[in-house]
Amino acid sequence: MKHENAIHRLKNVEGHIRGIERMLDEEAYCIDVIRQIQAAQAALNKVTSIILEEHLNSCLTTAVRGEDPMERERVLKEIADVFDAANKV
């Protein structure tokens, strides 16, 4: 499966999120909850990195090596847009 590593990590994040929900239900110490949220965010960032690397090694490489300059521009713009959006968060 192409995204097996990313899917596995997302399942771990899902469990992590459920744990955070449980912590809130149980009124856990706020700093402990924040640390768990930060861990989940870091795990999601890792999934983003994995998927981006897969994209760069497949779609982007294909577009850059291809003959269609419009496709190259489209794929490069997509990547730039993703980074712009990430910096706005």
Check which CATH number belongs to the domain holding 54 and give it: 1.20.58.1000
Instruction: Count Cβ neighbours within 10 Å for each residue of 23-60 and write b for 16 or more, e otherwise.
Output: beeeeeeeeebeebeeebeebeeebeebeeeeeeeeeb
Full DSSP string of 12-67: HHHHHHHHHHHHHHTT--HHHHHHHHHHHHHHHHHHHHHHHHHHIIIIIHHHHHSS
Structure-token pair, residue 2: 């192409």
Question: What total number of domains does the chain contain?
Answer: 1
How far, in Å, CA of 31 to CA of 41, rounded? 15
pLDDT of the residue at 7: 95
Q: For residue range 40-82, what is the model confidence (pLDDT) as tens digits?
A: 999 999 999 999 898 888 888 888 888 998 988 898 899 889 8
Assign 89 a pLDDT band (cuts: 50, 70, 90). low
How far, in Å, CA of 53 to CA of 5, rounded? 12
Q: For residue range 51-60, what is the model confidence (pLDDT) as tens digits?
A: 989 888 888 8
What is the residue range of 64's domain?
Answer: 4-88
Query: Mean pLDDT over residues 21-50, rounded?
Result: 97
